[in-house]
Chains A and B, each alone.
Chain A
Amino acid sequence: MTAKKVTGSQALILSLMEEGVDTIFGYPGGAIMPVYDALYDFDKEVKHILTRHEQGAIHGAQGYARVSGKPGIVLATSGPGATNLMTGIADAMIDSTPLVCITGQVAEPLLGTDAFQESDIVGMSIPVTKWNYQITTPEEIPGVIAQAFYIATTGRPGPVLIDVTKDAQFGELDYKYEKCTKIRSYVPETSIDPHQIKAAAELINEAKKPLLFVGQGIIISHAEEEVKAFIEKTGIPAAWTLLGLSALPTDHPLNVGMLGMHGNYGPNKLTNEADLIIAVGMRFDDRVTGKVSEYAKKAKIIHIEIDPAEIDKIVKTDVAVLGDAKKALKMLIDNVNPNNHENWHNEFKKCDAIENEKVIQKDLYPTKPGLTMGEAVRIVSEKTNNEAILVTDVGQHQMIAQRYFGFKKSRSNVTSGGLGTMGFCLPAAMGAQLGAPDRTVVGVVGDGGFQMTIQELGTIAQNKLPVKIMLLNNNFLGMVRQWQQLFFEKRYSFTELHNPDFITIGKGFGIPGHTVDKREDLDASIKKMLDHDGPYLLEVKIEKEDNVFPMVPTGASVSDVILEP
């Protein structure tokens, strides 16, 4: 490829295009203006989504990345523009979401002088980025961008931040682009050791009560078919983590539900009965393990994981299979014996019956007057034929939606898992719609989180994105209130919200909507939202003090999961 003379800014845009970028989420400002000027010439090739806040841009990019499997691209200016990205970067880091964030920076001679809108974003973002780098000369741009994409998308994905000084954007270079295929100090994926596969297969073939955990690693490595084939051959029940949701169809007979603090009764309770755990692409988050010293004590642990730092981080493994989940499962399938584990499945069925009676029926088909979050979620899921993309915020509504929404296709669940970022839903739903334009995207959000990034209604309206927003409003920060009720003697310290008229706010942004507070109107209301051609806001006024169960209280063992207060 021959070189041509371009500015640093043009090189940046051309480099992004070389990496197949078609959508950028961003917000302009002084130190990134040359890049925005270059972008002006490429508005046919690259769609730029102007958000209302940089946090909206980065959560948008996260939603886009999670549904499309492609890295999310964020553009922001220096100083406050860059620091406003930090929450999203931290969120993407802990949830392994590939992002390439590009921030403008003051010109190189001004670095370190407290110049206008200068912030040391490289220093600040070190603990929350997979990699970051500051570009101060135009010549560095193509090479560094190539590395950024390679690092963000390979191995365990994560966010990368590239800070570009304004003079590097203005300067000229001889541009040519070469994709990055290797870095001496970084091996994203090790080849799988057949001895480990053999050792794992032996444990699997001997196990009487094996349980497989489906983590997001299954989705990231496109191992949905492999995990299905594996469990179907071995008859091993599979439980998914919050981020593993949608990797299997919800109604797959071997899918026993969700792990974790508000997961299903069976998988939590029976984790401590299992004699073998096969954890695939997950990291034993404390919300999954509960009290670690009493976790899965009867089980041997097989951990299939691409990130070596996750092995033995929380739970000591008996067999660690380092590498890509898809490849590992493919190799394992050939080495395991067919089985059905019928008695073991019956134990799950018993747990399911208990949970169904004590919790699920009351959530989904309530007989009390107030609307429940569960029934609203159930109706949306039914009416979208379990084919919609669910995007949630953080809190009670999140747990309820993740418990009761049904999935048929992978990459249909977008939520802030590890960081638990309120305000995630609305911009992430916007990004998810851009990443999957042909699919129905439903954002289920609480009244607290909605107000943290409510300004992105403007972006949704401007771009005519047909996002369906179902606001579950209890005028409370519900999850905190639930904890206050259960663990802080009902001392409701600063959790009640005096809320605005959300429908009027939506209308102000040009987004139609209505409120529903009666059960007899709920079905038609949800239909109206889903049938509407364009974005729609449905406010569901739900019971003020409902709780989410089952629950593994903090510090308790998973087998001490409770079904009622």
Chain B
Amino acid sequence: MRKEYILTVYSENHIGLLTRITNVFTRRKTNIDSLTVSESALQGIYKFTIVIHCTDAMAVKLVSQIEKQIDVLKAFYHTNEEMIFQEIALYKVPIEPIYESDTIEKIVRKAGARILEITKDYVVIEKTGHKEDTQALFEELNQFKVMQFIRSGRVAITRDPIERLSEFLKERDAFLTSLD
């Protein structure tokens, strides 16, 4: 059964590695719904958060083929239930409706969004949440003709009480030391 999976990949920061990782999906004709890359809490180790729709068996194979890449330290896959995740969305809305009524203000309050910037032409609103939430806010704001809308890729943290990456790195360090 196909469902949404969140893959997290920890890697060295080498040129070309992004292509190597995305190629694993290309080969298996799997679309990447969202992709976020940034440095992890550990200096020099980069974290990819990749959202895909696939079967459980496919998620397992994708992870093992990603891990096979030389510069990848470790890859995991999780269901949405196993992770706490968020996306951030920005909305640029014309200023006039704000002068005319308090509807936008009410929408922003109700959605738990916040206003980042107000100019004489537009207002920029920020909302963090799941895609359904940021999308719902877009639908509501769009009655005022949203000028620009952007949603980030997903960032996610495991609910697991065991920090598997830290465990993994400890084991790996011990292994590398044993080679000396």
Contacts and interface: CB of A to CB of B under 8 A. Distances in A.
Q: Do these two chains really belong together in a complex?
A: yes
Interface of A: 122-123, 126-127, 130-134, 151, 181-187, 307-309, 311-313
B38 interface: no
B66 to A, nearest CB: 9
Nearest to B71: A185
Interface stretch (B92-100, B112-120, B172-180): B172-180
Contacts, number: 50
Given A122-B16, A312-B60, A127 B27 contact: yes
A309 B67 contact: yes
Given A126-B23, A130-B70, A184 B12 contact: yes
A515 to B, nearest CB: 45
Interface string B13-35: 01110011001001100000000
B70 A131 contact: yes
B9 to A, nearest CB: 11
Given A127-B26, A133-B14, 18 more contacts: A123-B16, A126-B16, A127-B27, A130-B70, A132-B16, A134-B16, A151-B70, A182-B176, A184-B172, A185-B70, A185-B71, A187-B172, A187-B175, A308-B64, A308-B68, A309-B61, A309-B64, A313-B61
A122 B17 CA distance: 11
Contact of B176 (A131, A134, A184, A311): A184
B37 to A, nearest CB: 16
A313 B61 CA distance: 7
A131 B70 CA distance: 6
Nearest to B21: A126
> How would you classify the secondary structure of chain B's contact residues: helix, strand, loop or mixed?
helix
Interface residues of B, number: 24
A313 B63 CA distance: 11
Given A151-B70, A187-B172, A181 B16 contact: no
A557 to B, nearest CB: 21
Contacts of B14: 133
A136 B79 CA distance: 41
B179 A182 contact: yes
B141 interface: no
Nearest to B179: A182
Contacts of A134: 15-16
A123 B73 CA distance: 21
8 contacts: A122-B16, A127-B27, A130-B70, A131-B70, A132-B16, A184-B73, A184-B176, A308-B68
Contacts of B19: 123, 126
B11 interface: yes
Nearest to A125: B16
A290 B176 CA distance: 41
Contacts of A133: 14
A186 B70 CA distance: 5
B65 interface: yes
B72 interface: yes
B73 A185 contact: yes
Contacts of A309: 61, 64-65, 67-68
B88 to A, nearest CB: 30
For the complex of A and B, list the 3 residue pairs with the smallest distance between their C-beta atoms, beginning with the closest. A309-B64, A131-B70, A309-B68
Q: Which of B23, B61, B68 has the most CB of A within 10 A?
A: B68
A315 B23 CA distance: 23
Nearest to A132: B16
Contact of A185 (B26, B72, B179): B72
A343 B177 CA distance: 51
A494 B158 CA distance: 58
Nearest to B12: A185
Contacts of A312: 60-61
Given A185-B72, A309-B67, A126 B20 contact: yes
Interface in B136-179: 172, 175-176, 179
Given A134-B15, A187-B172, A309-B67, A181 B179 contact: yes
